[in-house]
């Protein structure tokens, strides 16, 4: 037995990490990245921010493919109430490492699953807590000299070299990578886009 997808799924994201997570789960999908302004709006909370952006990303693609389920997601890293974005320079990455070292921070991924023809949608925000051990100055400098911090929220990749510094994760591990797969599959089943126990399955990435 395996699972069957009952509808096309589009990932409205250019994140290679989200693509990899869906592929590893055996989910068939195609990628159509959306472009939205990712800045904060007003006094929205990190959860509200992630949910709003995920819905905007999904909606921007759903209008072009009204019969497909579209998945949008946005991941936010927060410590001391501050949102840590994606560093573009070494100094920005260094500042983030100092803030994360020896501390616990939150990672929130908001995701939206919607289909334009039915106007149905599922929106959820999933939170994980990540604890870094104390990092030495030499370790920080070594890490920011790699290419890893510079396209990641919070300036690190839990599935990469940053694993050397992460002591504990409370909550979804895949959420920290960029997509809470367990909750996404629950949402797909909830809307009837996926089912288990079928005689034949539709797996792998398409498009």
- Catalytic center residues: 74
8 Å CB contact between 174 and 181: yes
Distance CA 183, CA 175 (A): 9
8 Å CB contact between 41 and 68: no
- What is each CA distance from 119 to 34, 50, 113, 116, in whole angstroms? 19, 20, 10, 5
Question: In sequence order, which residues have a C-beta less than 8 Å from that of residue 205 and are 6 or more positions away?
Answer: 19, 22, 23, 27, 28, 29, 30
Question: Considering Cα of 193, then 194, then 198, then 203, what sign does the dihedral take?
Answer: positive
């Amino acid at each position: 037995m395996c699972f069957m997808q009952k509808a096309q799924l589009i990932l409205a994201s250019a994140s290679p990490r989200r693509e990899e997570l869906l592929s590893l789960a055996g989910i068939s999908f195609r990628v159509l990245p959306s472009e939205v302004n990712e800045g904060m709006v007003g006094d929205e909370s990190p959860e509200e921010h992630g949910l709003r952006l995920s819905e905007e990303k999904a909606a921007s693609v759903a209008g072009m493919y009204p019969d497909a389920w579209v998945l949008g997601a946005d991941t936010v890293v927060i410590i001391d109430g501050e949102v840590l974005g994606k560093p573009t320079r070494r100094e920005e990455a260094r500042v983030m490492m100092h803030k994360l070292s020896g501390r616990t921070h939150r990672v929130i991924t908001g995701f939206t699953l919607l289909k334009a023809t039915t106007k149905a949608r599922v929106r959820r925000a999933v939170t994980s807590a990540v604890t870094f051990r104390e990092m030495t100055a030499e370790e920080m400098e070594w890490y920011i000299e790699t290419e890893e911090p510079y396209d990641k929220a919070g300036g690190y990749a839990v599935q990469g070299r940053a694993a050397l510094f992460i002591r504990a994760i409370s909550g979804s591990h895949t959420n920290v990578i960029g997509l809470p797969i367990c909750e996404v599959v629950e949402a797909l089943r909830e809307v009837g886009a996926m089912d288990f126990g079928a005689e034949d399955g539709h797996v792998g990435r398409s498009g």
